[in-house]
Structure 1
Amino acid sequence: MIEINKKELVKKALSAMENAYVPYSKFPVGACAATADGETILGCNIENASYGLTVCAERVTLFKAYSEGKKDIAALAVAANVDEPVSPCGACRQVIAELAPSAIIYLSNRDGSKIKTMTVEELLPYAFRL
C-alpha cells in the first residue's frame, strides 16, 4: 500500500466539487477516494428535482470506484463549501462503512485549511451489518 497524501486528496475533492449539480440546494460537495495502489476516483453530489433521487458525493465516488472494479479503498476525502470540515450524512456513513470499512476519512472545509482525520468506526460507530 502506498502512502496517502491527505492534502493532495483533499485538493482533488475540492476540484471535484466544481462538477456538482446543485441547482436546488446550492451546496456543492466533492469527494476523492484513493485505492491502496494510489489510484484516485472523483465524485460530486448530483441533485434532482425529485429530491429523494439526489445522490451525495461520497456515494457517487464509492459507487463509481466499485463499478470500475476498484474495491480496495484506502482513503476517502470529502470537501464542501463550509467553514468547518463537512460531515457526511447518515446514508453516506453507512455506505462508507460497507464499501470502505478500513479507509482513513478526511473531512475538509472550503479551502482545505481545516481537515479532520478519522476512521470509519469513528465516523459511524455500531454500523449496521448483516
Structure 2
Amino acid sequence: MNDFLAELFDRAKQARGRAHAPYSRFPVGAALRAASGAVYAGANVENAAYPLGICAETSAIAAMVAGGDREILEILVLGPKRIAPCGACRQRMSEFAKGLVVVYLADESGNCSRHALSELLPHAFGPEALNGNADVEKC
C-alpha cells in the first residue's frame, strides 16, 4: 500500500471508529483526497428514522465542500467487509469528479480493490445533461 493510500485508509479507519451505527451495527468510514491535496473523512450517521441517515461517503463529501474544495481525486470506503457505495453516493461522487476518479473499497483487514468511478456509475447523470450537451443521437 503506497503512502497516499495508507493515509486514506488510516483516516477512513479513524472516521469509521466514530461512526454512529446503533441500528445496523455496520460502521463505515470514508476518506477522500481533493484536488488541492487535502484529505477529508466522514462516517455513516444513522437515525432512528432510517431514511434520514447519511453514508460515510456523503459525510466525507460534505466535509470537503465545507473545507472549500470541489474536486475529488480519489476516495476510499472502509467497512467491516468490502462494500461498494450505494447509488446515491456514486451520484454524489460524480458531481465532484473530473476525469478519472479512483474508488478504493477496503475491509478492516486492509484488503482493498481499486475501481474507476465510471466503472461503478456508467452513464452518470451530470451537469452536461442539464445543459443539453449530453452525447446523444436520434433514435
Query: What RMSD, in angstroms, separates the aligned Cα atoms of the two structures?
Result: 1.6
Secondary structure (helix, strand or coil) at the match of 2:63 reads helix
Give unmatched runs, 5+ long, in structure 2. Answer: 131-139
Structural mapping, 1:9-20, within 5 Å: 9-20=8-19
* Structure possessing the higher radius of gyration over alpha carbons: 2
Relative contact order (alpha carbons < 8 A, sep ≥ 6): 1 or 2 greater? 1
Give unmatched runs, 5+ long, in structure 1. Answer: none
Q: In the alignment, is residue 127 of structure 1 matched against residue 133 of structure 2?
A: no
1:36 Cα deviation (Å)?
2.3
Identify the residue that residue 6 of structure 2 maps to in structure 1: 7
Distance 2:89 2:124 in 1: 11
Identify the residue that residue 107 of structure 1 maps to in structure 2: 105
Identify the residue that residue 32 of structure 2 maps to in structure 1: 33
1:59 Cα deviation (Å)?
0.5
Deviations 1:4-35, CA, capped at 9 Å, x for gaps = 72122122211210010011000100000112
Identify the residue that residue 94 of structure 1 maps to in structure 2: 91
Deviating 4+ runs (over 6 angstroms): none
Whether the 8 Å contact between 2:71 and 2:98 is mirrored in structure 1 is no
Normalized against structure 2, the TM-score is what?
Answer: 0.83
**Percent of aligned pairs with the same amino acid:** 38
Normalized against structure 1, the TM-score is what?
Answer: 0.88
Secondary structure (helix, strand or coil) at the match of 2:78 reads strand
Deviations 1:43-87, CA, capped at 9 Å, x for gaps = 0000001111000000110011112211122111110011xx221
